[in-house]
Chains A and B, each alone.
Chain A
Amino acid sequence: NAGVTQTPKFRILKIGQSMTLQCTQDMNHNYMYWYRQDPGMGLKLIYYSVGAGITDKGEVPNGYNVSRSTTEDFPLRLELAAPSQTSVYFCASSYSSFEQYFGPGTRLTVT
């Protein structure tokens, strides 16, 4: 199993540009999550999904959108990038609702 994979690994965006961060898991997990990690801070939950077609907001959803059309994929969309969105983004998935498995992260810089 590849586990949780994320693409791209790195990206630089200009202010106002849009992009989609991809996340795929091959463990048939129902639950999937997006977090951001700012320097010196813990992870903050952006959005989560409990199954295909079902998504909900986390702690810091503003400026982001998600969709979950399949069990495997959970892309995160940034519509109008802002410098405040410079961060490292982690996708995670879980079978039970407690133990989460994380991807390697996407480092995003908005300038």
Chain B
Amino acid sequence: GDSVTQMEGPVTLSEEAFLTINCTYTATGYPSLFWYVQYPGEGLQLLLKATKADDKGSNKGFEATYRKETTSFHLEKGSVQVSDSAVYFCALSERTGTASKLTFGTGTRLQVTL
């Protein structure tokens, strides 16, 4: 079945450091790929998405490129802020019948310090 593998956390960075969170996937078809962010005490929010190979999703300074050849969707940000501290989830979605379902990675906690 489909699966998503993320790097384990926590990832601890100083403010303005470069961020990479690795994500690889296994899927039988052609999934859409997502990054969700969960701030403390809140639900998940969609951060960015890509629906086909070589697409780049971007939002709030975060970027991720859909790499079909390496089955990867790594999240990057050039300069993190304390307010980026959260848990980040990589996910994929494949259409199954009349609906598509998200398969999530286990999440990576990011802690940004001053």
> Does more than half of chain A's interface fall in helix, strand or loop, or is it mixed?
strand
> A1 CB to closest chain B CB, in angstroms?
15
> B75 CB to closest chain A CB, in angstroms?
15
Which of A42, A50, A92, A99 is in CB contact (< 8 Å) with B89?
A42
* Interchain CA distance A31-B100 in the complex, whole Å: 9
A102 touches B104 (CB 8 A): no
Q: Does B93 contact A (CB under 8 A)?
A: yes
The total number of A-B Cβ pairs within 8 Å is 58
A103 touches B4 (CB 8 A): no
Question: Which residues of A lie under 8 Å from residue B4 when comparing CB positions?
Answer: 42
Question: Which residues of A lie under 8 Å from residue B32 when comparing CB positions?
Answer: 98
A90 touches B104 (CB 8 A): no
Chain B 15-28 interface mask (CB, 8 Å, partner A; 1/0): 00000000000000
Q: Does A40 contact B (CB under 8 A)?
A: yes
CB-nearest residue of chain A relative to B41? A104
Question: Which residues of B lie under 8 Å from residue A97 when comparing CB positions?
Answer: 93, 95, 98-100
> B63 CB to closest chain A CB, in angstroms?
18
* Interchain CA distance A97-B100 in the complex, whole Å: 6
- How many interface residues does A have (CB within 8 Å)? 24
B43 touches A98 (CB 8 A): no
B99 touches A48 (CB 8 A): yes
B102 touches A103 (CB 8 A): no
Which of A4, A33, A56, A99 is in CB contact (< 8 Å) with B46?
A99
A104 in contact with B98 given A42-B104, A42-B106 (CB within 8 Å): no
Which of A41, A104, A105 is in CB contact (< 8 Å) with B106?
A41
B44 touches A102 (CB 8 A): yes
Question: Which residues of B lie under 8 Å from residue A103 when comparing CB positions?
Answer: 43
A sample of 15 inter-chain contacts (CB < 8 A) reads: A4-B43, A40-B107, A41-B106, A41-B107, A42-B4, A42-B104, A42-B105, A92-B44, A97-B95, A98-B93, A98-B100, A99-B34, A100-B102, A104-B41, A104-B42
Binding site for B on A (CB under 8 A): 4, 31, 33, 40-45, 48, 50, 56, 58, 90, 92, 97-105
